[in-house]
Amino acid sequence: MSVWTKDNTFRSPAPDVDIPNVSFAEYMFSKCDKYQDLPAVTDFSSGRSYTYSLLKASAIKLASALTKLGYKKGDVIAVFSVNMPEYSILMIAAASIGVIITPANPAYTAGELANQLEHSKAQAVFTIPQLLPVLQEALSLNSTVKNNIKDKFIFGEGEGCKPVQSLLNDDGKSMPDVDIDVNNDILVLPYSSGTTGLPKGVMLTHRNCISNLLQFSSVTDIKETEDVMLGILPFYHIYGMMPVQFGCLHRGCHLVTLPKFDPAEFMKALQEYKISQLHVVPPIVLFMAKHPMVDQFDLSSLRFVVSGAAPLGEGLSKGFMDRTKAPIYQGYGLTETSPVVNIDYAPGKTGSTGPIVPNSTGKICDIETGKTLGVGEEGEYCVKGPQVMKGYLDNQQATDAMIDKDGWLHTGDIGYVDESGVLVIEDRLKELIKYKGFQVPPAELEALLLTHPNVQDAAVIGIADPEAGELPKAYIVPKSDSKLTSQCVTEFIQERVSHYKRLRGGVQFVDAIPKSPSGKILRRVLKDVAV
Ligand code: 4UW
């Protein structure tokens, strides 16, 4: 079947899949009933484990306890935590009562956390003891947030917090009858800066997420009930949250969670649990391809590895496969597309991200004229499908800038598609910087830099780096007569942002920031002269 149509749009070579009209919790509960006593999710370091039956029973208890505390459909609850089995329980529990989960990056500073809590209007936060001081600082920084947050729930114990364990001891009898409109009700609200500006709340509906799980599962070689997968990518990010966490759980596979990337723990988990499907980002691929430690571990259980969130070079892919003997496939997605848009599922074409997933249509557009281009022509990748977000929370303007009136989502990525429908991403049109797959919104750093008393103007771009993909670099126009040094600027940022947003690409002082007549920073001009 040809993937290209007469109007120069393209589809998947694979057939469409049926998407059931059910809520996310109904969907996951039916899977729990199907897989019952099989292991669902296990914490690697403690061995704490839940079968599918226990996962469902725990989610019902938690949902019932939240209901008794007054939480109801449409309320927003934040999760500020590392990966652990209870993250999955909470997500299913919240979904079952129509509560929206907004996942926050556990690397966040108090200021960053406060921004998300305020914007999402979260009414409660689930956290862990190690992150409680950050949460407390966030509440003390922002009185709106402090007033909004009714409860702090903790996995473990902490002052002023309700232990999650007490909720899990509920009798499970207060589950309300909740009517979920799967096409409109929001399941999760992750934050992404999208093509431009500050992080925005991405409204993903129940249908968006269920569709995407089925779209990519139908074309990936998942061995139902047999695969063992590692939850190393953070669940707060859409890649770890949906394709990894629920991509595993909706097929009866076993998910082993790790709280963070520690090289030795990671390798031990791969070996001990005989991980068969591994989902990672390019820096982990690089570690596995190059680090001497890797040779001490048996990786023969790995059937295949998937990499995404940032470009994976052909050379690295080959080096990885030579060493581990496991094929590596690349996927491509965005928070705004729940997230998978393309996934490679046959060995061979390294460096590409494979064809578009089923039930979706893609096109490549000329970046100047918007005209739809043909086979092999380079332009902006646009996509349509049931996984495309409902929009950004309270930001119609940003939503309209990303999804046009015909329903095409403009990814802000530049690439081409070959005769067989395979996508190669080549560049990024949008301003987003990706450090090791993490989003670094330049607008956020620029706004912070402008609060420095000695900074007149500032711009931040990503410069290429072989290990991290990109490093944020700042161009600064200092105020006249100020004795600003690059170290001052670097430290100023370091004190205020998560570690991955630091100005690792350096600071350069310039006379002026190149701008368009309308005042937009000409990032391309800076990129062309970046050293
Ligand atoms: N090559 C080049 C890639 C690639 C890429 C993403 O943080 P977000 O919003 O979202 C993500 C999601 C990644 C993802 C999800 C599911 C999946 O299966 C998979 O592959 C295994 C990957 O990163 O950032 C979105 C932006 O990240 C860049 C691109 O610029 C995109 O718009 N990006 N994947 N393979 N660039």
- Show pLDDT as tens, one digit a residue, over the chain (531 residues): 569 999 999 999 999 999 999 999 999 999 999 999 999 999 999 999 999 999 999 999 999 999 999 999 999 999 999 999 999 999 999 999 999 999 999 999 999 999 999 999 999 999 999 999 999 999 999 999 999 999 999 999 999 999 999 999 999 999 999 999 999 999 999 999 999 999 999 999 999 999 999 999 999 999 999 999 999 999 999 999 999 999 999 999 999 999 999 999 999 999 999 999 999 999 999 999 999 999 999 999 999 999 999 999 889 999 999 999 999 999 999 999 999 999 997 765 677 899 999 999 999 999 999 999 999 999 999 999 999 999 999 999 999 999 999 999 999 999 999 999 999 999 999 999 999 999 999 999 999 999 999 999 999 999 999 999 999 999 999 999 899 999 999 999 999 999 999 999 999 999 999 999 888 999 989 988 776
Rounded to the nearest angstrom, the distance between the alpha carbon of 128 and the centre of ligand 1 is 28
**Residue 353: predicted pLDDT:** 93
For atom 23 of ligand 1, which residue has the closest CA? 309
Q: By C-alpha distance, which of 521, 43, 514 is closest to 269?
A: 43
Q: By C-alpha distance, which of 6, 24, 429 is closest to 241?
A: 24
* Cβ-Cβ contacts under 8 Å for 467 (sequence gap 6 or more): 283, 286
* Shortest-distance atom of ligand 1 to CA 430: 30
Ligand 1 touching residue 340 (CB < 6 A) = yes
Residue 196 dihedral angles phi and psi, to the nearest 5°: -155, 160
Ligand 1 touching residue 428 (CB < 6 A) = yes
**Residue 144: predicted pLDDT:** 98
8 Å CB contact between 351 and 326: no
Rounded to the nearest angstrom, the distance between the alpha carbon of 60 and the centre of ligand 1 is 33
* Shortest-distance atom of ligand 1 to CA 331: 20
Taking the C-alpha atoms of residue 472 and residue 505, their distance in angstroms, rounded to an integer, is: 5
Of the residues 334, 402, 414, 440, which should be mutated to test ligand 1's pocket, given the most ligand atoms within 8 Å of the CB? Answer: 334
The question of ipTM being above 0.95 is answered as yes
Residue 117 dihedral angles phi and psi, to the nearest 5°: -65, -40
CB-neighbour burial class of residue 52 (10 A; exposed 0-12, middle 13-18, buried 19+): buried
Could you give the 3-state DSSP secondary structure of residue 427? strand
8 Å CB contact between 471 and 465: yes
Could you give the 3-state DSSP secondary structure of residue 362? strand
**Residue 527: predicted pLDDT:** 87
**Residue 348: predicted pLDDT:** 57
228-231 and 254-257 strand pairing? parallel
For residue 190 the two structure tokens come to 């992750």
**Residue 347: predicted pLDDT:** 63
For residue 99 the two structure tokens come to 């509560």
Q: How far is CA 226 from CA 74, 218, 328, in A?
A: 36, 16, 19
* Cβ-Cβ contacts under 8 Å for 164 (sequence gap 6 or more): 62, 86, 90, 126, 153, 154, 155
Residue type at 374? G
Rounded to the nearest angstrom, the distance between the alpha carbon of 212 and the centre of ligand 1 is 14
**Residue 102: predicted pLDDT:** 99
Rounded to the nearest angstrom, the distance between the alpha carbon of 79 and the centre of ligand 1 is 22
**Residue 349: predicted pLDDT:** 65
Q: How far is CA 489 from CA 434, 441, 473, 493, 512, in A?
A: 20, 17, 11, 6, 17
8 Å CB contact between 232 and 223: no
For residue 45 the two structure tokens come to 């370091």
Ligand 1 touching residue 306 (CB < 6 A) = yes
Rounded to the nearest angstrom, the distance between the alpha carbon of 528 and the centre of ligand 1 is 24
**Residue 115: predicted pLDDT:** 98
Cα atoms found within 13 Å of the Cα of residue 426, Cβ hemisphere only: 12
For atom 5 of ligand 1, which residue has the closest CA? 310
Taking the C-alpha atoms of residue 240 and residue 247, their distance in angstroms, rounded to an integer, is: 9
3-state helix, strand, coil in the chain (%, to 5): 30, 25, 45
Residue corresponding to tokens 């690697």: 44
DSSP 330: E
